[in-house]
Amino acid sequence: MRLADDETLWSSSVVANRDMNRERGLASYRRELGIDVALPPGARWVDLCCGSGKALAEAARDGVVITGVDLVDHHVPARAGLDFVVAPVDRWEPEQPVDLVTCVHGLHYVGDKLGLLERAVSWLAPGGRFVANFDVASVRRADGAPFGRVLTKALRDNGFRYDNRRRLVSFEGQGTPRLPFDYLGADDRAGPNYTGQPAVHSWYEPL
Ligand SMILES: C[S@@+](CC[C@H](N)C(=O)[O-])C[C@H]1O[C@@H](n2cnc3c(N)ncnc32)[C@H](O)[C@@H]1O
The CATH number that applies at residue 138 is 3.40.50
Ligand 1 centroid from CA 21, angstroms: 9
Q: Whole-angstrom Cα distance, residue 125 to residue 108?
A: 25
Lining residues, ligand 1, CB within 6 Å: 15, 20-24, 49-51, 69-72, 88-90, 104-106, 109-110
Residue partners of 79: CB distance under 8 A and separation at least 6: 57, 60
Residue 150 falls within a domain, yes or no?
yes
pTM of the full predicted structure?
0.97
Domain count, the chain: 1
The 10 Å Cβ neighbour count of residue 165 is: 5
Residue 116 falls within a domain, yes or no?
yes
Mutate to test the pocket of ligand 1, among 74, 109, 135, 194 (most ligand atoms within 8 A of CB): 109
Q: Which pLDDT tens digits describe the chain residue by residue (207 residues)?
A: 789 999 999 999 998 877 788 999 999 999 999 999 989 999 999 999 999 999 999 999 999 999 999 999 989 998 999 999 999 999 999 999 999 999 999 999 999 999 999 999 999 999 999 999 999 999 999 999 999 999 999 999 999 999 999 999 999 999 999 999 999 999 999 999 999 999 999 999 999
Range of the domain at 173: 6-17+89-206
Using CA atoms of 61, 62, 66, 68 in order, give the dihedral in degrees to the nearest 10. 70
Going from the C-alpha of 82 to that of each of 32, 64, 71, 148, the distances in angstroms are 21, 8, 17, 38
Residue 152 falls within a domain, yes or no?
yes
